[in-house]
Structure formats: C-alpha cells, structure tokens
Amino acid sequence: MEIVLTGKGGPEMLAVRDDDAVPPGRGEVRVRVEASGVSFAEVQMLRGRYPMQPKFPFVPGYDLVGTVTEVGAEVRGVRVGDRVAAMTRTGAWRSHVVVRAADVVPVPAAIESGTAAAVVMNGVTAWQMTHQVARVRSGQTVLVHGASGGVGSLLVRLAVRAGARVLGTASASKHDAVRALGAEPIDYRAGDVPARVRELAPGGVDAVFDHVGGRSLVDSYDLLADGGVLVSYGSASTLRDEGHWLRPYLGTIATFAGWRVRRLVGRGRGRRATFYYVKGGASFAEALRQVFDLVERGELEPTIEARYPLEKAALALGHLVDGSATGKIVLEA
C-alpha cells in the first residue's frame, strides 16, 4: 500500500493505492515501515508551495521507522531484522520503502516505533538548531514561534533542558500545553506579539526560532539582544501565496544579506541571522543518535497528538491542516 498525493488541493487529494514490491539495489535495504511522521512540509506540498517538491503525483512522507526485510548487494553493517530510521523527504508513506543503507540509523529497542518516528526529522531539526546553530545555554532567554508544534515543542523541551528561559507563541487554546513544556506562552492571535515579548524580556532575547518567515523574520530580528541569533527554519507565511514558490524567498534573502552587511561593518550589535534546513548525512545520523539517547533515557519526550493507520493519511493530514494539533501526528502500519 502507498499514499499518493495526486495534485493541489486539500487532504482529499491523497489516494490509497497498491505499491510495487521493488527489491533493494546495490547498497540499499528494503524496510517494512512501522511508523512515519506527518509534517507541515506535507501541508505545503498540498498547495505546491514546498521548495523543490516532486511533480504530482508522488508519494509524500518525510521520515520513517521500520524493520529491514531485505538487503541489497554490498551492504555492510545493516542486517535483516534491524529496526532503523531514515529521512526520505518524500516517499515514506508506503508499506515498504527502499532506502540507501548508508542513510539508516539504528533505533534502540526500548523506543517504540511511533515515538521514534516523532523525533526523526523533528528531533534532529530541534536538536541541531538548539545545540549547533543557536548554541543555547543556561541563563539565556529564547523565543520559540509555534511552541506547540512538532518541532516547536521539542525546541522548548531542549532549550529548557539547556537551562534557558523560553517564551513560546501559540494560540490561546494551547497555552496550558506550552506551560507544561516549561515555556511562557504568548498568544500570537491576540495583541502585539513583539510588544509582549519586550514586556517579558526588556533587554531582548538571545535567540529566536522562526518557522513563519515573511514579515515575522523582521520582527524576530528586532527582538534580538546584542549578540543574539535569529534562526529561520520555515516559511509558513507563504502557504497562501500565489505564483512561483521561490518568489517569496527572494526578498528574505535580500533582507538577510542586508543584516549580514551591517554585521560585517560593525553596525549589527553582534546579532546574526541564519537559515536552517535539515540535511541528511553523517551529521544527521549523529544528531539522531543523540536524540534517541535522550528519549531512551527519559530526558526528551515528544508530544504525540494522534496516531492514525497509514490508510487514513488523509484524515491525519486534515488534522494537521485544521490547526488543532499539539505536537506530532504519526502514521502507523
């Protein structure tokens, strides 16, 4: 079985089809998928707004957790029966997926598949931004936009674990959940968010994690304290845009370039702005091992909003589209 995104529209554009039993090639393994995440990337793909997405029709699915059922020639270090995780960007919403053996990461036996899937792409994104990009440390104050989301909730947990004070934007209905994560909630739908942040942190914040893009990036940068960092990792504000998907990013690139010039000439107060995009490879694998270790030790717990069977992917994606979800939505075999 596979889930195919047939064209632009809503979740109704997902179709359930039989998939072909493709054997693994050289250096590849075939994985029986046990769980896969549902992410905002798929919401953007519905609108044709995700950067460099495949042409319709295609199978979505950014990541997976499953068991290796077959190995191809010249595969070393991965065996039939191993539980593994992988980031695919697309193609994971299938019963079986063929991936490169070099791209899989072992999943500890103590972590069940749905929990593991909730921290593959989201967990690596949050971990790398917290510890490698912003280098959040004790005593700092950080702002997390979308603090109740799949990535945002993990960002809050990791920043709190690092000893930071966390301010988190969310709709009012999710404020209790944000407080439970350890953050101070700010309602992004009511009032002036930058003004509220300045009330709570008059000296500015040391880091902002912004998945919104557009005008939000300017506001976020203006909230930085001297030496602070803005990490842009999404473009939710472009969801309803028309025209080529690249057009909204051109102005953002120019804005970032202007900030960089100010920094180089000593007029940026030591502040910086950077883009983050999760990438595969050795650094991804190492970060995922770190995340799995935290989960296994009980030091990081993903918030899972709901679990749906794979064939109900349209319902799962609709749940995310309607904005009511807190944390991660997972598809399971």
Q: What is the mean pLDDT of the chain?
A: 96
C-alpha 67/C-alpha 80 separation (Å) is 8
* CATH for 67: 3.90.180.10
254 lies in a domain? yes
**Do 159 and 216 belong to one domain?**
yes
C-alpha 313/C-alpha 240 separation (Å) is 22
Nearest to 249 by CA among 46, 90, 51, 45: 51
| Contact call for residues 212 and 234 (beta carbons, < 8 A) | yes
C-alpha 77/C-alpha 330 separation (Å) is 28
- As a whole-number percent, the residues of the chain with pLDDT over 70 amount to 100
| Residue-level pLDDT at 200 | 98
Q: Which residues contact 43 (CB under 8 A, 6 or more apart)?
A: 239, 317, 320, 321
| Residue-level pLDDT at 303 | 96
**Do 162 and 82 belong to one domain?**
no
- pTM equals 0.95
Report DSSP letters for 146-157, one per residue: TTTBHHHHHHHH
For residue 249, pLDDT beyond 90: no
**Do 139 and 228 belong to one domain?**
yes
282 lies in a domain? no
* H helix intervals, 265-321: 282-296, 313-321
**Do 270 and 173 belong to one domain?**
yes
* CATH for 180: 3.40.50.720
Look up residue 80 and give its two tokens. Answer: 């039939």
281 lies in a domain? no
What range does the domain containing 155 cover?
122-275
Rounded mean pLDDT of 152-164? 98
| Contact call for residues 111 and 298 (beta carbons, < 8 A) | no
